[in-house]
Chain A
Amino acid sequence: MFRIAKSAPRRWELSGNRLRQSGANVVQDEQHLILAARRGDSNAFGKIVRTYQDRLCTALLHVCGSPDEAEDVAQEAFVQAYVKLANFAGESAFYTWLYRIAFNAAISRRRRRREETSVEQTRESTGQEPFDDTEPAEERVLREERAAAVQRALALLSDEHRAILVLREVEDCDYDEIAQILGIPVGTVRSRLHRARLHLKEQLDSVLGEAERHK
């Protein structure tokens, strides 16, 4: 199981197509690693895994709702990616391709295990092990309560709404990347994302209202 770190940076330095714009050398390195891994160089694949493991697990945490399941799905996605690496044509960023594999695996798991997943488990998975010891305790508690409420509201959304919100707000994907990963037109991304935000707002108001009534 992985740790939950609240103080990680908001945006990723290595992010999809933006990586191409900001660091051609990094892209070339990644391409070399992919080619080497395709030839069977497991060390090269290990470097790719280490580059994306935290990012992928963070996204999956919010799709799956459970740290353990997110890590299982991430492992499954990396394994599938390695086995199918010859099929990666480089038409999209490697991470986009990897995320698509992971996303499909996560949704598939969620559907078949929906009966076993409880909102409480999701709630418990948030706000663990804060690392920032300098933050005043009161602020930390408020922030964690808010994060737990958001996480709970997120868990109440449909899979498709939760997924698109994670891609946009956690993964910082632009609409084109979201369209590629979900396999939907950009116009649908725009409308679905907006509906997802409205539903999240609705659920968050409900969760916060409920918490307020219990105080």
Chain B
Amino acid sequence: MTRELPDELLSAYLDGEVTAEERAAVEAHLATSDAARQLLSELQSLRSDMGALPRAKVAADFSDRVVQAAVAAKAASQPVAVPARPARRRWMVVAAAVAATAACLLVAVQFWGPDSPPVAIPGQSVDPLIAAFHSALPEDGQAVVIRVRAPKDMPLTALEVASAIAGIGSQVPSARTGGSELGAAYRSQLEQRIGAALLADSTVSAAEAVFVESPVANLEKMLTTLQQNAKGSLELRREAQLAFAIPRALPGEDAEGSDAAKLVQGAAIYLQHLPANMFRLEKQTTPVAAAAPSGTINPNRIVRVLILIEQVEAQ
């Protein structure tokens, strides 16, 4: 095509997306240019090829499964977790496996919202899953690996829905977030503890692995939503605590304005998926018991958590 008639006009002409003037110009050019006619013919052939691609037909029960998941997700999206005022906190459905520990969960927990001072609520009860999460929180300068046991019938997409509801957006893995490094450190620690030779027999593969950097409150919301989706059968415990190196700015980046700097400042709230088949979990035969948290919990504190989901048969 000539410089006066860009190639892309041919595509637009093919799609019927040209003005009358453009159409006249294209047709005049086609009348005199073999190359343009050849290109138009090839573009038409491509359209035909794309049109012949296979089409999908979903299984008969697809809509039922979708509606079921949607209703559960919507119910879970109602504001039930991590209220700014602790008095509004309510009991959640809990797993039978951890119900026996409920008595020890009547603990004094302090919460403070963004605009309210710390308030001690003696005797305030919390969901055992959240209590277990509190007890698993990392110390300053550390990150934790948390194992979540979920029933097999809970779709893994529930994790994405729960994180979205909690305001934790997905982020593409990168060298700046540190999730991959934390995962590597965990794998190394596990291998040292169990021994490389026994690793395969003594462990199971994680079904899902996500690295989350977020305020405690958002993680609580995410876990509560997930718990509702799992009909109260989730169990959680800390697998490891590891020193967490603050990601460096990449070469050429302005350290102050970079993503890495934002992470240092605790401004980032994100979740990143890691390849689950790279992570192993020690085989467990007994239910995971929740532990009572100690001290005060600051819902605004930024924490870094590698969550490994283990799928188990529904009880």
Contacts and interface: CB of A to CB of B under 8 A. Distances in A.
Contacts of A4: 54-57
A40 B69 CA distance: 13
A96 B130 CA distance: 38
B63 interface: yes
Interface in B35-78: 42-43, 46-47, 49-59, 62-67, 69-71, 73-74, 77
Interface residues of B, number: 46
B54 to A, nearest CB: 4
B51 A169 contact: yes
Interface in A94-142: 105, 108, 111-113, 115-116, 126-128
A67 B63 contact: no
Nearest to B42: A201
Contact of B157 (A8, A45, A76): A76
A215 interface: no
A151 B53 contact: yes
A170 interface: yes
B54 A53 contact: no
Interface of B, helix, strand, loop or mixed by DSSP: helix
Interface stretch (B11-19, B109-117, B240-248, B258-266): B11-19
A70 B56 contact: yes
A36 interface: no
A75 B67 CA distance: 9
A21 to B, nearest CB: 15
Nearest to B51: A10
B281 interface: no
Interface string B132-170: 000000000000000000000001010011001100001
A190 B165 CA distance: 36
Nearest to A10: B51
Nearest to B64: A46
Contacts of A62: 53
Given A80-B164, A170-B53, A50 B63 contact: yes
A46 B69 CA distance: 11
A54 B54 contact: no
A169 B170 CA distance: 29
B7 interface: yes
B56 A168 contact: no
5 contacts: A42-B67, A54-B56, A150-B50, A190-B11, A201-B42
Interface of B: 7-8, 10-12, 15, 17, 42-43, 46-47, 49-59, 62-67, 69-71, 73-74, 77, 155, 157, 160-161, 164-165, 170, 172-173, 272-273, 275
Interface of A: 1-6, 8, 10, 40, 42, 45-46, 49-50, 53-54, 57-58, 60-62, 67, 70-72, 74-76, 78-83, 105, 108, 111-113, 115-116, 126-128, 143, 146-147, 150-151, 165, 168-170, 174-175, 190-191, 193-195, 197-198, 200-201, 204
